[in-house]
Structure 1
Amino acid sequence: MRPVKPKKSLGQHFLKDMQIAERIAGTLDEYKHMPVLEVGPGTGVLTRFLLEKGHDLTVVELDWDSIDYLNQHFPALEDRIIADDFLQLNLQKVFDGRPFCVTGNYPYNISSQIFFKVLDYKDLIPCCTGMIQKEVAERIAAGPGSKTYGITSVLLQAWYNIEYLFTVSETVFDPPPKVKSAVIRMTRNQRTELGCDEKLFRTVVKTSFNQRRKTLRNSMKPILGKDCPDYALPVFDKRPEQLSFDQFVELTLLTEKWLKEENNL
């Protein structure tokens, strides 16, 4: 009998395939010199291999049953278990401001939120790996022109190189999810600035994809209004999934220029 029951309310699906766990741990082999934060270790299937590989490991876990289990079975984690919600953590304090990597078998229901949290600390996290729902992984890794290319693709790829590493069957979990999973790796790119206002960039990307089937001339009206003269430019004939990162930067600069003119700044 499993000592910890997976809780549906926490989106828990415990990995039971040791080979898959070892492969996930291997996604951080190039970062042995850096601390690692594992999100949602559960019963420690991935934890075991991260420790065996010699990583300076700390884990964050919300479920008290799992925390009790980890305390009993992983003495190496003494004083290294953060009993908290990853999404609420100040990641600047976890390793006293030192850069670190993030990994985990992430709960499906918050996987996108986890990656956006990582994005908020992009200058502190050079690499983030882990297992998520296959559909979400495909969306994150998608390029311009793909049907799955969207908000998460653009915002994450602005700062990270995304690798879709391998697909994982639903049969290796307890309980089995209804969908397949996938392991990805996000590695910080060399970009230090976007070339435009980052907050406005996010707003432009989100607004444009809110009506992804329409051209930008229509989808950008909530920001630019009906009478923006720049609508005559070729970029506004495109749909958002056709735009590259550089084109979204250009669109943001156009938006910023128009907003300043509108407000007589």
Structure 2
Amino acid sequence: MYTLKKSLGQHFLRDENMCRKIVSSLPVAPGTQLLEVGPGGGAITKYLLELPGVDFKAVEFDQEKVDFLEKTYPAIRGKIIHADFLKVPVPFEGPFKVIGNFPYNISTEILFRILEWRDQVPEVVGMFQKEVAQRVASVYNTKEYGVISVLIQAFYKVDYLFDVHENCFNPPPKVKSGVIRLTRLQQPYDMASERKFITLVKTAFNQRRKQLRNPLKPLFAKETLAEDIFTKRAEALTVADFAALTHKML
């Protein structure tokens, strides 16, 4: 068998109905290139391997899990990339979809890695710690809304699909889980540059309790900071608002 390694953020799904539900949340047609991140003990992998006509690969860092998967599911041999997902090069040429019961300790880093690959990744379904899933999916004027909400939603539509109860895991984790789907936007937001957008968002939320004109002083001319929008707090701005402001930055 295999062991649970909390240091790698591992948590093993045992509810077969939930496994099938997660897999069915990502539309996959024959000919699709599909990447699973962190297959672990193969909870959803065994269903992904059954998808007809799919070019499947999985990235797994833990050698013990690689050995277990190859022994238990012979069909996966030759399809596993034994590597750290955060360091692996793009695994396919052309478009591919991503799915995973993501290791919770690097789940946000996984999302930012996918952002780097967004030109090739039209759709993602992932299970996260519920708090993280809610932050990614949250809208403006909510306490969960923050840097990751804005940066992901600038390029993807986010749908919070469903909760995953602790009893679906063995052993049950101490945190709740949730599954979200990202669908790449057909029409990206108009921003001066991605670099300016990221700088603006991170700077604005760095002092989220203050009016924007305070943290954003270094980024805008004094006369620009006199505009009404800068009397708001970061959480009151939509993704479109942030994108529009990049055109006024110094």
Shared fold (TM-score, shorter chain, > 0.5): yes
- 2:201 alignment partner in structure 1: 205
Percent identity over the alignment is: 47
Offset, 1:158: 0.7
What does the per-residue CA deviation read over 1:207-256, in whole Å, with 9 as the maximum and x for residues that have no partner?
A: 000011111011213434xx72212101101111111122101221111x
What is the CA–CA distance in structure 2 between the aligned matches of 1:75 and 1:142, rounded to whole Å?
A: 40
What is the CA–CA distance in structure 2 between the aligned matches of 1:230 and 1:183, rounded to whole Å?
A: 40
Which structure 2 residues correspond to residues 14-163 of structure 1 after superposition, within 5 A? 14-54=12-52, 55-91=54-90, 94-95=91-92, 97-163=93-159
Offset, 1:107: 1.0
- 1:248 alignment partner in structure 2: 242
- The answer on 1:9 being equivalent to 2:7 is yes
Bigger proportion of residues as helix: 1
Offset, 1:177: 1.6
Offset, 1:175: 2.7
- The answer on 1:236 being equivalent to 2:230 is yes
- The answer on 1:196 being equivalent to 2:192 is yes
Offset, 1:30: 4.2
Unaligned runs of 5+ in 1: 260-265
What is the CA–CA distance in structure 2 between the aligned matches of 1:31 and 1:200, rounded to whole Å?
A: 37
What is the CA–CA distance in structure 2 between the aligned matches of 1:197 and 1:174, rounded to whole Å?
A: 45
Using the size of structure 1 for normalisation, the TM-score is: 0.90
Number of aligned residues: 249
What is the CA–CA distance in structure 1 between the aligned matches of 2:171 and 2:203, rounded to whole Å?
A: 37
What is the CA–CA distance in structure 2 between the aligned matches of 1:162 and 1:31, rounded to whole Å?
A: 21
Counterpart AA for 2:57: T
3-state DSSP of counterpart to 2:23:
helix
**Cα pair 1:4 1:43 within 8 Å, conserved:** yes
Counterpart AA for 1:73: T
CA RMSD of aligned residues (A): 1.4
What is the CA–CA distance in structure 2 between the aligned matches of 1:189 and 1:245, rounded to whole Å?
A: 13
**Range with greater deviation from structure 2 (211-220 or 48-57):** 48-57
Unaligned runs of 5+ in 2: none
Offset, 1:170: 1.4
What is the CA–CA distance in structure 2 between the aligned matches of 1:222 and 1:23, rounded to whole Å?
A: 48
What is the CA–CA distance in structure 1 between the aligned matches of 2:110 and 2:171, rounded to whole Å?
A: 22
Counterpart AA for 1:53: L
**Cα pair 2:135 2:149 within 8 Å, conserved:** yes
**Range with greater deviation from structure 2 (28-37 or 128-137):** 28-37
What is the CA–CA distance in structure 1 between the aligned matches of 2:209 and 2:101, rounded to whole Å?
A: 33
What is the CA–CA distance in structure 1 between the aligned matches of 2:190 and 2:55, rounded to whole Å?
A: 32
What is the CA–CA distance in structure 2 between the aligned matches of 1:102 and 1:231, rounded to whole Å?
A: 41
Offset, 1:192: 4.6
**Cα pair 1:207 1:222 within 8 Å, conserved:** no
**Cα pair 1:61 1:81 within 8 Å, conserved:** yes
